[in-house]
Amino acid sequence: MKRWLPLVLFLVLVGFFAKGLFLNPREVPSPFIGRTAPAFTLPVVGNAGAPFSPADMKGKIWMLNIWAPWCVSCRQEHGFLMQLAQSGRIPIVGLNWKDADREAQALLARTGSPYVAVPDDLDGRVGIDYGVTGTPETYIIDRQGIVRLKHVGPIGPDVWQTKFEPTLKELGA
């Protein structure tokens, strides 16, 4: 038994390191899960007269997608978001993070918009309030305005099925 002890300790260490090797360092646990989504009021892209606020979505389960015209992985998920919007599964609000109204407007005109509203967070303050570290990031917010899910990185069919659908089912959507 005593002879095997170093080997056992070594294997335990290897176990820890192997686990650490496959963790995603970008997957920072969000402190917002289960908390009320921070309030904000921002002008909407292409329609400066009508501001958007999360309170407008009360009573609905909705998705807040943080994106930007300069963001490459946002283009990657754009096709899937379009499908999602067409299926009517969930309304998507697209927060335009740190880019000009004009750029976002031009891009959405060219590629089509999956969003029901595009609030314009030019200086990135609202992004900071949501703990955004980069684009794309996506939140599911429930009928009471509480954050239920945060996803970092582009959404595709796989992520949708394994991560988003279970959350939506839990919320009864």
Partner 1 sequence: MKPGRIKPALLAILLAVSLSAQARDAAPQAALPSTDDPVIEQRLVNLAEDLRCLVCQNESLAGSRAALAEDLRREIRTQMMAGKNDREVVAYLTERYGDFVLYRPPFKPVTWLLWLGPVLFLGIGGGAWYLTLRRRRDVQAVPLDEKKRAAAAQLLEEK
Could you tell me where the beta strands, DSSP code E, fall in the chain? 42-44, 47-52, 62-67, 92-97, 120-121, 137-141, 147-152
Q: Least distance to partner 1 from the beta carbon of 112, Å?
A: 27
Residue closer to partner 1 (CB basis): 81 or 139: 139
Residue closer to partner 1 (CB basis): 38 or 43: 38
Q: Least distance to partner 1 from the beta carbon of 121, Å?
A: 11
Distance of alpha carbon 120 from alpha carbon 42, whole angstroms:
6
Residue closer to partner 1 (CB basis): 114 or 154: 154
Q: Least distance to partner 1 from the beta carbon of 129, Å?
A: 6
Q: What is the dihedral of CA 51, 48, 153, 92, to 10 degrees?
A: 60
Distance of alpha carbon 159 from alpha carbon 136, whole angstroms:
14
**Applying CB under 8 A, which residues contact partner 1?**
25, 28-31, 98, 123-125, 127-134
Residue closer to partner 1 (CB basis): 79 or 124: 124
**Strand pairing of 42-44 and 47-52?**
antiparallel
Q: Least distance to partner 1 from the beta carbon of 15, Å?
A: 16
Q: What angle do CA 107, 30, 166 make, to 5 degrees?
A: 80
